[in-house]
Amino acid sequence: MKTIYTILLFAAAAAAQASPYIPSSGTQVVETLPRRGDPVQQELRRLRSQLDADPNDLALAATLAQRYIALGRSETDPRYLGYAQAALTPWWNKASPPPQVRLLRATLLQSTHQFNPALDDLKAVLAADPTNAQAWLTQATVQTVQGDYSSATASCARLSRLSTQLTTITCVANIGTVTGRALKSEQLLDLTLERSANAPADMQLWSLTLLAEMAQRRDDHVLAEARYKRALALAPRDSYLLGAYADFLLERQRPREVLAMLNDQTRIDALLLRRALALQQTNDQRALAADIKELAARFDAAMQRGDTVHQREQARFELKLRRDPATALTLAQKNWAVQKEPADIRIYLEAALQARDGAKPVLDWVAANHTEDAAAARLIARLKTGT
């Protein structure tokens, strides 16, 4: 089973609609295009040609969209999400498209943080087919991001009879890690993964990434790094994993490793942000200025489009690179209204600390859900003592 294991962090138009980039010389490489001889690209062109000849071929359109979504993640290339949506054009705006289209549309909608429309599609899919494991898993993921933990738990529970033990335990652990059961969830997931050596690579990737984040949140840096490296061996270009490991390296003051890892991965705004933060740590002012200018153009273009996908990243940009805590806090507050993951907690607390705000909504949330995160705990302590 192909699992879409996290909310995608990029939207297809983000880079394309930013300010034009003018290379400094005619010899500078602007883009590396897929090789025409690449078997994957040849197969995609063949499928696309068939779909062009018959745009209403539902099975072919769904297959092509699935391939594009998977390739967008594995190649860290957001344009493939746009290609996936284009493949679904005849059904995209229909109120009740076929279930396979609704599931794919939900996946693409969540990539732009349109969580409620995505949930509407998922509920319709599950009403038509309550045995659709992928729909339950995707719904649980969206509900967890929104902080609706009781509904997410119920969605995960439905997987126990429909999918593998590793899928179910990873789904449940993803909730437990932010609701006061972090260590027990980590231990159970680690044991389940050890017993699931034959699980699909994408399932192992999700589990390993989550386990790395769990260890990182309790300050076990050695174990966290070992898990990140195991995950990278499975998917060296996965955009979410690259961002998470980059954050780990930045926390450990290892910016040169971040620069080497993200050298050709900056099409994604979140990864360009992390490269800029690494440049800041190396004090490379010239390269940093160029990245800040590019990020500002991308975020400005997104705001003009009404695109709120990158508010967490933009808050971090304003706080750490532009040193504007007031603007960062406003963005963090808007982001908090949409999603409530550990990274959302931390950027809100960091901005509140520098803006001298009490961060009451986040403090109340952490207390009510017994959220365990060593970095967040340190920020909370500083907020309470005013240091």
pLDDT tens digits for the chain (387 residues)? 443 333 332 332 333 333 333 444 443 344 444 555 578 889 999 999 999 999 999 999 999 999 999 888 777 677 888 999 999 999 999 999 999 999 999 999 998 889 999 999 999 999 999 999 999 999 999 999 999 999 999 999 999 999 999 999 999 999 999 999 999 999 999 999 999 999 999 999 999 999 999 999 999 999 999 999 999 999 998 989 999 999 999 999 999 999 999 988 888 899 999 999 999 999 999 999 999 999 999 999 988 888 778 899 999 999 999 999 999 999 999 999 999 999 999 999 999 999 999 999 999 999 999 999 999 999 999 999 988
Question: Does the residue 159 lie in any domain?
Answer: no
Question: Does the residue 17 lie in any domain?
Answer: no
Q: Which of 187, 152, 194, 148 is nearest to 171 (CA)?
A: 152
> CB–CB of 268/291 below 8 Å?
no
Question: What is the Cα–Cα distance from 80 to 268, expressed in whole angstroms?
Answer: 12
In this predicted structure, what is the pLDDT of residue 129? 96
In this predicted structure, what is the pLDDT of residue 7? 30
Question: Does the residue 359 lie in any domain?
Answer: no
In this predicted structure, what is the pLDDT of residue 79? 85
For the chain, helix (H) and strand (E) counts, in that order, are: 21, 0
In this predicted structure, what is the pLDDT of residue 190? 98
Q: What is the pLDDT of residues 23-45, one digit of tens each?
A: 444 433 444 445 555 788 899 99
Question: Does the residue 199 lie in any domain?
Answer: yes
In this predicted structure, what is the pLDDT of residue 76? 66
The domain in which residue 202 lies consists of: 164-236
Question: Does the residue 207 lie in any domain?
Answer: yes
Neighbours of 128 (CB within 10 A): 13
In this predicted structure, what is the pLDDT of residue 23? 42
Question: Does the residue 382 lie in any domain?
Answer: no
In this predicted structure, what is the pLDDT of residue 2? 40
CA 214 to chain centre: 16
Q: List, in sequence order, the alpha helices (H) in 114-158.
A: 115-128, 133-146, 149-158
Rounding to the nearest 10 degrees, give the CA dihedral for residues 274, 276, 280, 282.
Answer: 80
Question: What is the Cα–Cα distance from 268 to 376, expressed in whole angstroms?
Answer: 26
Question: What is the Cα–Cα distance from 372 to 375, expressed in whole angstroms?
Answer: 9
In this predicted structure, what is the pLDDT of residue 20? 38
Rounding to the nearest 10 degrees, give the CA dihedral for residues 196, 199, 229, 70.
Answer: -160
Question: Does the residue 136 lie in any domain?
Answer: no
Number of domains into which the chain is organized: 1
Residue 364 in tokens: 């109340």
Phi, psi (rounded to 5 degrees) for 219 = 65, 25
pTM reported for the whole predicted model: 0.87
Question: Does the residue 191 lie in any domain?
Answer: yes
Question: What is the Cα–Cα distance from 259 to 278, expressed in whole angstroms?
Answer: 7
